[in-house]
């Protein structure tokens, strides 16, 4: 937390948001409780307050990572599953749109794949299948045949 205090001025070049993003990522990777994952989401949201459309690529990274945490939170906070899944899907949709707008094909494919996982968890099979199929096509175009196969394999498993 000392690092956050060192970079708190508004004109500090984004370091405060980077530190928040990195702390949020560490907590999300190591967290095993609902409270820890909620703390991670809160830190991502604070980072996103600075990572606006003017810093779109960084915003897309934070949104993507936050989407993963929100989907993980479903396991530890099942009473709020619909809310977490809706927020996760919204985060992945925005991340995918940013990545597409900036020509970040691999990042776009990855956000689509994770959107598919979230939609699948939410019981939205048709939408999940479309996201997986799009991700598979993009991975294939990038020559990432293993990733494409994994995404394609998700489509037939959906009801």
Q: Name the average pLDDT for the chain.
A: 90
In the predicted structure, residue 62 carries a pLDDT above the cut 60: yes
In the predicted structure, residue 151 carries a pLDDT above the cut 60: yes
Answer yes or no: pTM beyond 0.85.
yes
* Residue spans of alpha helices (H) in 10-103: 15-30, 34-50, 56-76, 81-101
Question: Poorest-confidence range of 12-26, 80-94, 96-110, 141-155?
Answer: 12-26
Rounded to 5 degrees, what are φ and ψ at 119? -65, -35
In the predicted structure, residue 9 carries a pLDDT above the cut 60: no
pLDDT-derived band of residue 6, with 50, 70 and 90 as boundaries? very low
Measure the CA–CA gap between 67 and 119, rounded to whole angstroms: 12
């Amino acid at each position: 937390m000392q690092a956050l205090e060192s970079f708190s001025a508004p004109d500090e070049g984004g370091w405060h948001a980077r530190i928040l993003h990195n702390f949020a990522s560490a907590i999300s990777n190591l967290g095993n409780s609902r409270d820890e994952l909620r703390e991670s989401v809160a830190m991502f949201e604070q980072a996103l307050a600075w990572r606006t459309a003017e810093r779109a690529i960084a915003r897309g990274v934070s949104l993507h990572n936050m989407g993963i945490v929100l989907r993980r939170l479903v396991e530890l906070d099942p009473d709020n599953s619909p809310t977490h899944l809706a927020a996760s899907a919204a985060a992945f949709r925005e991340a995918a749109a940013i990545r597409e707008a900036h020509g970040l094909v691999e990042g776009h494919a990855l956000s689509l794949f994770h959107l598919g996982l979230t939609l699948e968890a939410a019981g939205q099979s048709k939408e999940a299948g479309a996201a997986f199929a799009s991700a598979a096509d993009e991975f294939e175009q990038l020559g990432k045949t293993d990733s494409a196969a994994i995404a394609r394999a998700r489509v037939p498993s959906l009801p």
